[in-house]
Structure 1
């Protein structure tokens, strides 16, 4: 039996695989440079990439659900993502 995957699901999964690859590359770079200063710079770069991946992945998912989700639920999704970003924001 042939299973067709939704384009939004494939895009979200590929974005998460890309994100995981970036995380692994960062870990290897930290080991390669072997200094705390460079490791902090690399880690700070990841702190910028993570929320961006979250927003893009969520946007793709919401776009995939756009015809099946009411406006009220759509607003709750936006509020939820905003709360997540506010919660992980550094002071």
Structure 2
């Protein structure tokens, strides 16, 4: 019963990563198109929102998929790890 749900979660995780990658490539192309360091910095700042959002969403989906196999405290450790990553890279 849960394998059906896991397949959907896996597709969701991979899909979010593909979407994130396409956004990154699109922004790189836009940087070349505009040809300005100022615009490139602005576009890069917008990407700063995409990365952490995708990280949180993909990790959340992964934890949902593993919820029946992981102990609660291990899920808390993973969530704390993600929180520490986000805290460590904040500007």
- Give your verdict on TM over 0.5: yes
Q: Residue 76 of structure 1 aligns with which residue?
A: 77
Q: Residue 7 of structure 1 aligns with which residue?
A: 8
Structure 2 residues not aligned, in runs of 5+? none
What is the CA–CA distance in structure 1 between the aligned matches of 2:7 and 2:59, rounded to whole Å?
A: 15
Q: What's the offset of the Cα at 1:75?
A: 0.7
What is the CA–CA distance in structure 2 between the aligned matches of 1:15 and 1:25, rounded to whole Å?
A: 15
RMSD: 1.2
Q: Which consecutive aligned stretches of 4+ in structure 1 deviate over 3 angstroms post-superposition?
A: none
What is the CA–CA distance in structure 1 between the aligned matches of 2:75 and 2:22, rounded to whole Å?
A: 30
Q: What secondary structure does 1:62 align onto?
A: helix
Q: How many residues align?
A: 87
Q: Residue 55 of structure 1 aligns with which residue?
A: 56
After TM superposition, the score normalised by the length of structure 1 is 0.91
Q: What's the offset of the Cα at 1:39?
A: 0.4
After TM superposition, the score normalised by the length of structure 2 is 0.91
Q: What's the offset of the Cα at 1:61?
A: 0.4
What is the CA–CA distance in structure 1 between the aligned matches of 2:16 and 2:45, rounded to whole Å?
A: 20
Structure 1 residues not aligned, in runs of 5+? none
